[in-house]
Amino acid sequence: MSLVFDEYGNPFIVIRDQQAKERLRGIEAHRSHILAAKTISNIMKSSLGPKGMDKMMVSQDGEVLVTNDGATILENMQVDNQIAKLMVQLSKSQDDEIGDGTTGVVVLAGSLLEQAEQLIEKGIHPCRIYEGYETACKIATEHLKTISDSIEFSKDNIEPLIKTAMTCLGSKIVNRFHRQMSEIAVKAVISVADLERKDVNLENIKLEGKEGGKLEDTQLVKGIIIDKGISHPQMPKIIKDAKICLLTCPFEPPKPKTKNSIEITKAEDFKVLGEIEQKYFTDMVEKVKATGANLVICQWGFDDEANHLLLQNNLPAVRWVGGLDLEKIAMATGGRIVARFEDVSADKLGRAGLVREVGFGTTQDRYLSIEDCPNTNAVTIFVRGGNKMIVEEAKRSIHDALCVTRNLIRDNRVIYGGGSSEISCGLKISAMADDIASIEQYAVRAFADALDAIPLALAENSGLPSIESLSTVKAMQIKEKNPRLGIDCNHRDTNDMKAQHVFDTLPGKTQQFLLANQVVKMILKIDDIIKMGPGAD
Ligand code: ADP
């Protein structure tokens, strides 16, 4: 746009490139973005639940990622459409706040929009629709509270937490070992949690992974781990009550910095030189030992001769440790990193209850685990798996389990999964809809119908006849007045999700409803899309 003046000095605005703008208005706009949102939600639908499928994402440079996690799928999908981007954001918000339920929230939002589309076609104004949705969402979240159960747990009784984390891992690649994985996740959270204050800092749980080995080899280390081993195979592999000297300077006799040449004419001179160097190095070792250190962790390398001398002098060492790792160790052990060898002293040593090198059977792989550090209660989950894709997906799944456990510590209320809570909320909303006299009644009912998308998708993904399963369970819920009945995805011959130990957290489910409703409202409020063409201001 530009402001110009005519010959009489009157201003007028020239709008350039009007033709470069694309514009969709009213019902066309609604149709277009509902379609975009539905497309995204349809992609996600088949990933929902314990029998959900995984997606393989191939990046532009050919890197492959296999995942079942909604947020990860969407994050890696290249979407151009703005509305589709909103759905990606939706899943991310659920991930940030709750950490689980990222697929469900998108499926729900897609279904709400699908219902809204039908109402718009009937001529109901979008604003009446989202007002109705708002009412229904309120009913649903209130109802969730009434059907929730609280689970009791303590530091010594973590079984209920493990069961809940297992539900969340049941749909992931790790499900063959989901008992073991959820035990690891729950133990990790418990060890960093403050149960009195109901507070968990997940930053204190590090997730590290290395390909090789099996998923069962995944383990919880009560400390930090470094991807390095002790420098000599004959040095002790377990150091109790470790006092660690952290060096960023080379641990070897100094080399002349400028170019000097030493001329050696006799064999004796060469021997003498060798002895002087050796003495220099043994003095260095003595100096470190004199501070009381029983382990040296060094950012630099030292050659094989130095390594041998360290072994002879009983000073285990680790070499080539990265700068970041060294800082991590320093923080955890309370040590100070020494940059000049002259500064080595007793007060700069880091402490740890136990340092050990852990190897993996016959492979060369090993890592150093530094446990019982004074300055941190950080723990590390060390994930193993056949290849990088599996390790990465296992890390994502464990992250979900960690989040679920953290949520339970903050709020110990759970609701039952398998679509049971959605069916129960749907029934409640439908019953309440009859009392609403205005046109909103349609929207409220539509919300109830939209909730069916979750049990329908769960049934479909498990190879069950979806509509038939849903109507059977619905009828059973009404007849038995039991809100715990859901879709029997694992064919266990019972629809009672309490008996199957399928739990979702109450805050997680509530958040799913609220976020989905919020984004749907936002999308329904847009009735004009103006796309600037290239060159338009
Ligand atoms: P999200 O990313 O949304 O958590 P999931 O793929 O983990 O998606 O699926 C979660 C849904 O699957 C929840 O609605 C949960 O109740 C349901 N679910 C999980 N395990 C079972 C099970 N064993 N039987 C029935 N439903 C299950």
Would you say 440 and 135 are in contact if contact means Cβ atoms under 8 Å apart?
yes
Q: pLDDT value at position 444?
A: 94
Residue 100 CA: nearest ligand 1 atom is 4
pLDDT at residue 519 in the model? 92
pLDDT at 28: 80
Inter-CA distances, 267 with 141, 147, 162, 247, Å: 88, 90, 70, 35
The residues that are catalytic are: 69, 102-103, 400
Phi, psi (deg, nearest 5) at residue 94: -60, -40
Q: Which two tokens stand for residue 18?
A: 């009007």
Q: What are phi and psi of 372, to 5 degrees?
A: 55, 50
Cβ atoms of residues 165 and 404 within 8 Å: yes
Residue 332's pLDDT is 87
In the chain, % helix, strand, coil (3-state, to 5) comes to 50, 20, 35
Q: ipTM of the assembly?
A: 0.97
41 lines ligand 1 (CB under 6 A): no
What local confidence, expressed as pLDDT, does residue 509 receive? 93
Give me 340's structure tokens.
Answer: 């000049």
Domain extents for the chain?
Answer: 22-150+415-531, 223-371
| Interval between CA 76 and ligand 1 midpoint (Å) | 22
Q: Rounded to the nearest whole angstrom, what is the distance from the C-alpha of residue 224 to the centroid of ligand 1?
A: 32
Q: Atom 12 of ligand 1 has which residue's CA nearest to it? A: 49
Closest CA to 339 of 300, 304, 286, 282: 300
For residue 100 and ligand 1, the question of a CB distance below 6 A is answered with yes
Q: What is the CATH class of 22-150+415-531? A: mainly alpha
Asked if residue 103 has its Cβ within 6 Å of ligand 1, the reply is: yes
Question: Which of 448, 418, 351, 427 lies closest to 135 in space, CA to CA?
Answer: 448
Give CATH superfamily name and number for 223-371.
GroEL (3.50.7.10)
Q: What is the predicted pLDDT for the residue at 254? A: 67
- Which runs of E-coded beta strand occur in 106-153? 149-150
Place of tokens 């995805």: 489
Q: Nearest CA to 452 among 112, 82, 119, 67?
A: 112
The whole-number pLDDT of residue 280 equals 84
Print pLDDT tens along the chain (537 aa): 666 777 777 777 665 655 555 667 777 888 888 888 888 898 889 989 888 888 888 888 888 888 888 888 888 887 778 888 888 889 889 888 888 888 999 999 999 999 999 999 888 998 899 999 999 999 999 999 999 988 888 888 888 888 888 887 877 777 778 888 889 999 999 888 888 888 888 888 888 888 877 888 888 888 888 888 888 888 888 999 999 999 998 877 766 666 777 788 888 888 888 888 888 888 888 888 889 899 999 998 888 888 888 888 888 999 889 888 898 888 889 899 998 888 889 999 999 999 998 876 556 778 888 988 887 778 889 888 888 888 888 888 898 889 889 988 888 898 998 999 999 999 999 999 888 888 889 999 999 999 999 999 999 999 999 999 999 999 999 999 899 999 998 888 888 888 888 888 899 999 999 999 999 999 988 877 777 666 555
The DSSP secondary structure of 182-210, one letter per residue, reads HHHHHHHHHHHEETTTTEE-GGGEEEEEE
Nearest CA to ligand 1 atom 10: 49
Q: Which atom of ligand 1 is nearest to the CA of 69?
A: 2
Q: CB of 171 closer than 6 A to ligand 1?
A: yes
Identify residue 104 by its one-letter amino acid code. G
The finding on whether 461 has its CB within 6 A of some atom of ligand 1 is: no
> What pLDDT score does 107 carry?
94
